Amino acid sequence: MDAARSPRIPALALVPVWVLTRLGMLYLLVRDGIGVRNVNDEVEFLYPRWALQLADGSFPVDDVTWQYPPGAGLLFLSPELLPFLDYFAAFLVLTFAADALVALALARPGRRPAGAWLWTAGLPLLLNVPHGRFDIQVTALAVLALLSSRRDPRLGGALAALGALVKVWPLLTLLGLERGRTGRDAWRSAAVTAAALLAVLALAFRHSFDFLQQQGARGVQIESLGGTVLGLMRASGAPIGIESRYGALEFSGPQVGTVAQLSLLLTAAAFGWLMFWRGRASRWTEATPFDAALAAVLLFTVTSRVISPQYMVWLLGLAAVCLTSRCTTQRPVAWVLLAATAVTALAFPTYYLEVMQGTALGNTLMVVRNGLLLTAALLSCHRLWRETAAPAHPAGADLGRPALCRGSEVA
């Protein structure tokens, strides 16, 4: 039936689909029998260890796997809110609750149901990975920040700041807010929220900023775009090895430093382009903040030295927000991201040993997945620029977009 005439039917249909897919994902996570078979190790062993240290009043010390801003500590302590469950079960309950919260927020009346469907049906493509990490909770903060920023920019800014204090990237949700009072209110709220929470965490815990040392020393992970280049060089006979460092597999060898520096330069260039876009953008629609957030996170993902499979959770969440608006420019990008998500599940955990060993299959999976991510990033930026910063379309050439989506002019 037409979703516009029967808005409740798509939302109601989401419920059984969400329940069935999440039961399947829970089964896969608990069974942990796909590919490398260690997907639930972080929730089973690593997060509880961190929680014990945090409960003692200190962030992890001399722990190379601790690479997160101090707000993440509260998330790892959150299973203590359910003392009647063990850590593993409590973490899963809270993670599935955050997953459901995202679906409910996306499916609210007045929003196009495509976003909720993308989240509900797209996340299971990652098999057992999403709920074995804490990225769903971070994505929930980013999604809520975007969806609330139009009506209440202060709330959006506060939620973005909370997300940034867990994994930094949610701060990018503020990048596409319209210039003027809305943007200023959101950024001020984010700054105040971040400063207040950082002060509380610094007073409550020791070693609050030790994560900076580990994060700055990261190398080139085998699943990154730069890692794909190094993997192909390794397959052609270059003296490149693999080491387990900072909780991930990274390349080692004389060429790695050059690739790492190039990645940092590309990240700086991506930031420069985003600032240039913001300065040139002159047309805003209700979807522009959504589209800009997706473009920004895609750029920082493809230029990063590290791409973990759970990064796809972020991108699916942001793409889903874009699809809640009829004004979005990112529909083709969402399709590309769905394909990249499916290939990601093949690369990890299904055939991760092949990726580690640099076999023809492993290298092919990385080339295809990262090629799709690069395509999504370039397509996202192109469509964002064309609709907001490029010269206005000639009359009648707006590709059938609704009149309300042709952008308000901003000086």
385-401 residue pLDDT tens: 999 988 865 543 444 45
- Asked whether residue 207 carries a pLDDT value surpassing 90, the answer given is no
Tokens linked to 186 = 């959101």
Give the orientation angle of helix 288-302 with respect to helix 135-149, to 10 degrees: 150
- Asked whether residue 403 carries a pLDDT value surpassing 80, the answer given is no
Burial 328-351 (b: 16+ CB within 10 A, else e): bbbeebbebbbbbbbbbbbbbbbb
pLDDT at 2: 41
pLDDT at 208: 79
pLDDT at 161: 97
Write the secondary structure of 58-122 as one string of H (helix), E (strand) and C (coil).
Answer: ECCCCCCCCCCCCHHHHHHHHHHHCCCCCHHHHHHHHHHHHHHHHHHHHCCCCCCCHHHHHHHHH
Percentage with pLDDT > 70 across the chain? 91
Question: For the chain, what is the mean pLDDT?
Answer: 90
pLDDT at 290: 98
pTM of the complete model beyond 0.75? yes
* Mean pLDDT on 185-199: 95
Position 408 confidence tier, pLDDT thresholds 50, 70, 90: low
pLDDT at 245: 79
pLDDT at 3: 44
Contacts of 396 by beta carbon, 8 Å cutoff, 6+ apart: none
Element containing residue 252 per DSSP (H, E): strand 248-252
On whether the CB atoms of residues 272 and 311 are closer than 8 A, the answer is no
* Mean pLDDT on 286-312: 96
DSSP state of 250: E
* Mean pLDDT on 122-140: 97
- pLDDT tens, residue by residue, 227-239: 999 999 999 989 9
